[in-house]
Copies of this chain bind each other. A is one copy, B any other.
Amino acid sequence: MANSAWSEKILQLLRRMNNFYLPGSCRSKCWRFEINEAQVGWIPPHVASLLTRYPEVFSPPHGGAVSLCGSLDSYEKKSEAVDAVLQSLRQESSLTCLKGWRDEKYSVMPKFSDPPLMWMERAATSLFGVKRYGVHVNGYTVSDSGEVNMWLARRSLTKQTYPGLLDNVAAGGLAAGIGVKNTLVKECEEEACIPAAIAEKARPVTNVSYTYEDEDGVFAESQFVFDLELPLEFKPRAGDGEVQEFYLLPIDKVKELLATDDFKPNCAMVVLDFLIRHSFIEPDTEPCYQEFVAGLHQTL
């Protein structure tokens, strides 16, 4: 693929993954989701109108915001009241995303540095545009001559989301109360059979953030990214059935794949960031260098 066609594909990926910021997105029609007067998400109009049926949990939309009722005055009360609403909506089965119910609790707070105000079922977060945090690991090797190869996973065909697409060697969402490094070690073990003694050598290097919308709502996501140089003789193996196969690929091949539809989009972003940080993309030969970096770190 010619350089400029590759760059254009990458820009398209970044635009798609940040389409909530584009003119014409549902953003101007969304309600702010507020708890204790602080914004914790964005509620699309079709969700806001469903929520009016639960006035004991959600105050009526007001001043551009939907808020939790003041009577829900603790972390547990908020979490349980919202969960009851979601369970009821799940049974009606009008909201497709709730069919992917996972029994995974995600923390809800205005910023990552704030104390969580409640937890919410993972499958429901897009209905409220609540920010989801996760961990992604770039697994790679460096040969004696300095050549870099990257391990990629092929997602299992039975995965609920993005079946059969390329993924980072390990990745996962941050469940309520679990630390970033602990999540990384757990996911490395479960998904790729990387023992803790190796996974713990992963180095935090950045955070990749983006917000996109689709028919399931607003996906505001923020991934903590780690680099993990794997021993040359080590081979990741499929662990929990989420991965069908692992490949060790030269960087040129990885770069080429980034511009195809074979990659889970947010994993492609994490790999793009790796290519930039490791100088496989240079500002004098990649005119969109600055746009690439900007597209990897969009926040409201």
Contacts and interface: CB of A to CB of B under 8 A. Distances in A.
Interface of A: 7, 111-113, 133, 179-181, 203-207, 209, 222, 224, 276-277, 279, 281-284, 287-291, 293-294, 296-297, 299
12 contacts: A112-B291, A113-B290, A180-B284, A181-B282, A203-B279, A204-B281, A204-B289, A205-B276, A207-B289, A207-B290, A207-B293, A294-B297
Contacts of A111: 290-291
A283 B113 contact: no
Nearest to A286: B113
A295 B138 CA distance: 23
A283 B293 CA distance: 20
Nearest to A131: B290
Contacts of A222: 290
A32 to B, nearest CB: 15
Contacts of A282: 180-181, 204
Contact of A284 (B179, B276, B289, B297): B179
A293 B287 contact: no
B204 A283 contact: yes
A224 B289 contact: yes
B180 A290 contact: no
A39 to B, nearest CB: 13
A202 to B, nearest CB: 9
Nearest to A209: B294
A-B pairs with the 3 shortest C-beta distances? A113-B287, A297-B297, A207-B293
A277 B282 CA distance: 17
Contacts of A180: 282-284
A261 to B, nearest CB: 23
Nearest to A202: B279
A171 to B, nearest CB: 15
A38 to B, nearest CB: 15
A7 B112 CA distance: 13
A181 B224 CA distance: 30
B293 A209 contact: yes
B181 A276 contact: no
A277 B208 CA distance: 12
A96 to B, nearest CB: 29
A206 B276 contact: yes
Given A203-B279, A204-B276, 9 more contacts: A112-B288, A133-B290, A179-B284, A180-B282, A205-B279, A206-B276, A209-B293, A224-B290, A293-B297
